[in-house]
Amino acid sequence: MRTEIATLGEFGLIDHLTKGIKPIHKSTLKGVGDDAAVLSYPDKKVLVTTDLLLEGVHFDLVYTPLKHLGYKAAVVNFSDIYAMNGKPRQITVSLGISKRFSVEDMEMLYAGIRVACEDYGVDIVGGDTTSSLTGLTISITCIGEADREKIVYRNGAQETDLICVSGNLGAAYMGLQLLEREKAVLKGASKDVQPDFAGKEYILERQLKPEARKDIIEILATAGIKPTAMIDISDGLSSELIHICKQSGKGCRIYEEHLPIDYQTAAMAEEFNMNLTTCALNGGEDYELLFTVPLAYHEKIQEISDIRLIGHVTKPELGCALVTRDGQEFELKAQGWNPLKQ
């Protein structure tokens, strides 16, 4: 069954997609259903971030299920708030929709957004819909909160700080390479032919359904560790690390042998005959947390299983470099994904 969006109209579609949404936070005084949401943060600092996702640039619906896309669109915003050491509380969702999409399609997209909000404890408080001549456009704005003294910026890294990263690197990028290869291989094939993704589930999930590292923020808080600088890895480790060093006025050394890489990522890179370290440095969309902490936290950080020490902050004149397994130094370059190079 296919229901044309035009039969509901803009406000009818919004009512349909947001029916049953009930705020869970005291800071949400008024959510969906008025000219503007009303939020109250009397004792907190407010964090705001937004992400714009365009069909054909940020996602391909040939291999991206709409429910996964909705989930990912929300989670990447949550990740930005966690990267400030904050907590996401509300989102607004704006959609540009072309005529090829039905009400049922939008239900699937919104289902993913709603699951993400339930998983991370976030309220949907508003948004907008309009027609699009270029496919699907998704714009999500996330509002978060943090105590003033707990907010972490990109510019606080100090000399001798340890450089840490959560999780592992390059998996989302290799998942994308796999999906793009199968799309090309199956182009023009009959619908009965299905790709074999056995043994590659992890890298596909990292690309199609990433998670924000709420758990890492909670672990650091419990351990009494406040990072000196932090950023989430959306454009690639090298690009993000250069952001921290540039804004902090520092240099860095990271070590190839300490980069955390999953087995499926390594196996896929070998299959594609790609350099594994390059994939880990420049892949992007990992949504892991990259942060620096004072040297005094060395032992505490080593006790946390899903955080790896990958290097240290240096004087600015030393620049930013990768130290290879055989001791050579190579200048780090921001070769991660650049959305304006299309």
Q: For the chain, give percent helix, strand, coil, nearest 5.
A: 35, 25, 40
Residue keyed to tokens 């990768």: 322
Domain ranges of the chain: 5-150, 162-331
Distance of CA 324 to the CA centre of its chain: 27
State whether residue 115 is helix, strand or coil. helix
What does the alpha-carbon distance between residue 323 and residue 310 come to, in Å, rounded to a whole number? 10
Beta partners for residue 94, in sequence order? 128, 139
What does the alpha-carbon distance between residue 126 and residue 36 come to, in Å, rounded to a whole number? 7
CB 140 within 8 A of CB 93: yes
- Domain 162-331 homologous superfamily, CATH: PurM-like C-terminal domain (3.90.650.10)
By DSSP bridging, strand 137-146 and strand 123-131 are: unpaired
What does the alpha-carbon distance between residue 308 and residue 302 come to, in Å, rounded to a whole number? 7
What does the alpha-carbon distance between residue 136 and residue 118 come to, in Å, rounded to a whole number? 24
Q: What is the DSSP string of 127-191?
A: EEEEE-SSS-EEEEEEEEEE-GGG---SS---TTPEEEEES-SSHHHHHHHHHHHHHHHHTT--T
Per-10-residue mean pLDDT for the chain, 342 residues long?
A: 80 77 82 74 92 94 97 98 97 95 95 98 93 94 95 97 98 96 82 81 97 98 97 95 97 98 97 95 95 97 96 97 95 67 50
Q: On the CB side of 110, how many CA atoms lie within 13 Å of its CA?
A: 24
Digit-coded pLDDT (tens) for 128-153: 999 998 899 999 999 999 999 999 99
Residue keyed to tokens 């704005």: 141
Position 190 scores a pLDDT of 64
Same fold, 5-150 and 162-331: no
State whether residue 231 is helix, strand or coil. strand
Position 342 scores a pLDDT of 47
What does the alpha-carbon distance between residue 210 and residue 232 come to, in Å, rounded to a whole number? 12
Position 17 scores a pLDDT of 79
- Domain 5-150 homologous superfamily, CATH: PurM-like, N-terminal domain (3.30.1330.10)
